[in-house]
Amino acid sequence: MNSPIPLAVSARAVALRLPVNGALYHLPQPLNWRLAVSNQPERQGKAESVVLLLDDLEPATSYRLRVEGLDEIEFRTPVCAGLIRPEGMIEGAPHDDLATARHNAAILADAVATVSVGGTVYLPKGDWVTMPVALKSDMTLYLAEGAFLRAPSLRDGWPILPARDGQGQMLGSWEGLPANCFAAPLHAIGADRLVIAGRGCVDGSGDKGDWWTWPKETRDGARRPRGLHLIGCSDVTLLGFTIRNAPSWTIHPQGCDRIKAVGLNIQAPADSPNTDGFNPEMCWDVTIEGVRFSVGDDCIAVKAGKRGPEGQDDHLAETRNIRVRHCLMERGHGGLVIGSEMSGGVYDVAVEDCEMLGTDRGLRIKTRRGRGGVVSDIAMRRVTMKGVQTALSVNAHYHCDPDGHAAWVQDRAPAPVDDRTPHIRGITVEDVTLDGLAHAAGCFLGLPEAPIEDVRIRRLNIGSLDADAVPTPPDMADRVRPMLHEPLLAEQAMLDCDDAKLVSLAPITLA
């Protein structure tokens, strides 16, 4: 059997993987599909990507899907326990109309509070400006095609999440530490079995107001909000919608388990600061599939919290089992990034069957002395990179934080090993193709007291070089020399490559 594979099924939207041999994000050629249901006209369309999204479905209904060249599949949508269409919302208000934003938020909050367990809040087509909305367990927020849920550009009266809740658990955060932060336009705390689905759009209005002018500051007592912030949630499905212009990180699951993000479109301008696409932090069992990224920072940044300047670690937890498949990463500082906040430990991460276009880095791991933690069992398989400056970058001298350039962080002499020493080991790269390579196929810069261990590279192919590239340091660390069209380089790292011609003994660090 070679049938479409259901990835996420909700009452009104379904995503399926089309198992076409060799396909990454795009299909080699479009495939016609037909969707049949009893007593209704047949729907049809053309699939251009591996993940096919079907929306505007009926709950508790059986469907038959036929895709050209694949076996037919039948699926049934779940029951919806009740539908609420918020009444009385004001459409089309400008982004700085706080009165309308508060009015619409109150109506949406009432809809969320009253929707039945297993029910749906349905946002219809229209342009709806609203203050941040908190979601809850056992509900679906359905964003119909043409629905725009917009945050206001002004923050007067914007709710703030405190750094910790009443039990001392991290609630608000900033770059891996507890911190007051403005609530995201959509957010949920401790929500289980939450679904956000549909072809609509969440717009964080980061391009309005002043959000992007203070990327590292605190204003009005808080840090910038995310676009969608999930805190301590489990069994969450994010299906099909577009989310764009987040004030900072776009989607941030924090301390969550079993998260599915399928068929999303995540957008931010190339020059928007710290607008990472999807940042699972201290999470277990996260699947990101068929997602298209075009952002101003890292497309995906896997994190595990940051040890405080005095070694504080009571907020830390590990991140484990992250799967990234059939995604398209356009632009951004990195395709799949781990760190630099990784103090709780990051384990078992795989990016497979993906396309990266014009990202600064492909697979990037970054940390530094003082972070502690372990990064282990990281894999990249069957990935194409076009116009990526440095394909593989692993850097244990990353010059982040105010003391990032201090001698104790950047010194290439061995330092004592303690609980603040980071460790990186177990990296597998297989069947990766590079076109338009600018700086280096790979740069592995480890610590002398904790070298990067067990790096295995198989079937890495450099198809072409970027003729317009200029020599540039491939890692954000002090004294890294400029590079141009270089292969794999290692300093304090143990590489096992099946092609000796791709490994250089040239130094990474300037004398």
Per domain, the residue ranges of the chain are: 5-76, 193-504
385 near 440, Cβ under 8 Å? no
**The listed CATH number (3.40.50.2300, 1.10.3720.10, 2.160.20.10, 1.10.150.120) that belongs to domain 193-504:** 2.160.20.10
For residue 156, count CB atoms less than 10 angstroms from its CB and return exposed for 0-12, middle for 13-18, buried for 19 or more: exposed
35 near 338, Cβ under 8 Å? no
Q: State yes or no: is 333 an active-site residue.
A: yes
Task: Give buried/exposed letters for 29-48 (b at 16+ CB in 10 A, else e).
Answer: eebebebbeeeeeeeeeebe
337: tokens are 């990034």
* pLDDT at 1 exceeding the cut of 70: no
**Superfamily of 5-76 according to CATH:** Immunoglobulins (2.60.40.10)
**Does residue 69 come out as left (phi exceeding 0), alpha (psi in the -120 to 50 range) or beta?**
left
Q: What's the pLDDT tens digit per position in 351-402?
A: 999 999 999 999 999 999 999 999 999 999 999 999 999 999 999 999 999 9
Q: What's the pLDDT tens digit per position in 94-152?
A: 999 999 999 999 999 999 999 999 999 999 999 999 999 999 999 999 999 999 999 99
- Give the DSSP H/E element, type plus range, for residue 390: strand 390-395
Q: State yes or no: is 468 an active-site residue.
A: no
- Catalytic-role residue among 297, 298, 360, 475: 297
- Catalytic-role residue among 95, 103, 315, 333: 333
> What CA–CA distance (Å, rounded) separates 47 from 65?
12
The arithmetic mean of pLDDT across residues 169-187, rounded, is 98
Q: What's the pLDDT tens digit per position in 226-258?
A: 999 999 999 999 999 999 999 999 999 999 999
183 near 224, Cβ under 8 Å? no
* pLDDT at 311 exceeding the cut of 80: yes
The arithmetic mean of pLDDT across residues 413-425, rounded, is 97
Give every CB contact of residue 309 below 8 A, 6+ residues apart in sequence.
none
3-state secondary structure of 508: coil
